[in-house]
Homo-oligomer: A and B are copies of this chain.
Amino acid sequence: MSLRHAILGLLTFEPMSGYTLKSRYFDKSVAYFWPADQAQIYRTLQALEADGAVSSETVENDKRPNQKQYSITGAGERELREWLAAIHPPVTQKDGFLVQLYFARMLSRHQILRVLQAQRDTHRQLQDHFDNLVLPAADTATMKRQVRFGGLTLDYARRREKMLVEWLEACIAAVQEWPEQESI
């Protein structure tokens, strides 16, 4: 249940509406490690408000529809800090591509290579994206500190994509080397 905590964390930057959370964060940076759709964000905000972890205030806009501005409360900040400091049991990540590769003996070499190359191309693009991504400049001390930790997660994304591209290249080379056989 990290969506709850991701939202609480983002609200420590500044009070925000659900729309801003989505368009500024869940469509960009946070998307890499915790994607969430609009419906989920709005419902989680409602749940957080019901629990007293956030409070809301309607902001009237001239040129745009009114917003519900959410702020983190003291209780919300306590909950967040507690979660952040806790050692959580490792959660195994589900990876459909590994399922695909694991049973790839059922495919022809041509089919296997097609799937592997598509995957490699995807991760090459991601690698390119993260290698060219520049961290935003920070104005306050808090945000300077924030950018440091953002840098650590960016470093992870770069290492991960590099590893994936290398591994996929090795897979492609291996499959090309193996003798073609009955696919079963």
A residues near B (Cβ < 8 Å) are: 2, 5-6, 9, 12, 30-35, 80-81, 83-88, 90-107, 111, 114-115, 118-119, 122, 141-142, 145-146, 148-150, 152-153, 155-156, 159-160, 163, 166-167, 170-171, 174, 178, 181-182, 184
14 pairs across A/B with beta carbons < 8 Å? A5-B100, A9-B99, A32-B98, A33-B95, A33-B99, A34-B94, A35-B94, A81-B106, A84-B106, A84-B115, A98-B153, A101-B153, A105-B149, A159-B166
Choice from B2, B81, B184 contacting A142 with Cβ under 8 Å: B184
CA of A107 to CA of B82 in the docked complex: distance in angstroms?
A: 9
Is A102 a contact partner of B149 (Cβ separation < 8 A)?
Answer: yes
Contact A2 B99 (CB under 8 A): yes
> Which of B31, B90, B149 makes the CB contact (< 8 A) with A92?
B31
Most chain-B Cβ atoms within 10 A of its Cβ — which of A111, A156, A159?
A156
Q: Provide the bound-state CA to CA distance between A142 and B99, in Å.
A: 17
CB distance B6 to A150 under 8 Å? no
What distance in Å separates the Cβ of A170 from its nearest Cβ neighbour in chain B?
A: 7
B9 touches A92 (CB 8 A): no
Which of A32, A86, A93, A119 has the largest number of chain B CB atoms within 10 A? A93
Q: Tell me if B34 and A99 are in contact (CB < 8 A).
A: yes
- Min CB gap A163→B, angstroms: 5
Contacts of A156 in B (CB 8 A): 98, 167
- Chain B residues with Cβ below 8 Å from A93 are 33, 93-95
* Chain B residue at minimal CB-CB distance from A126: B90
A-B CB proximity, top 7 nearest: A33-B98, A9-B103, A2-B96, A105-B145, A33-B95, A163-B163, A35-B92
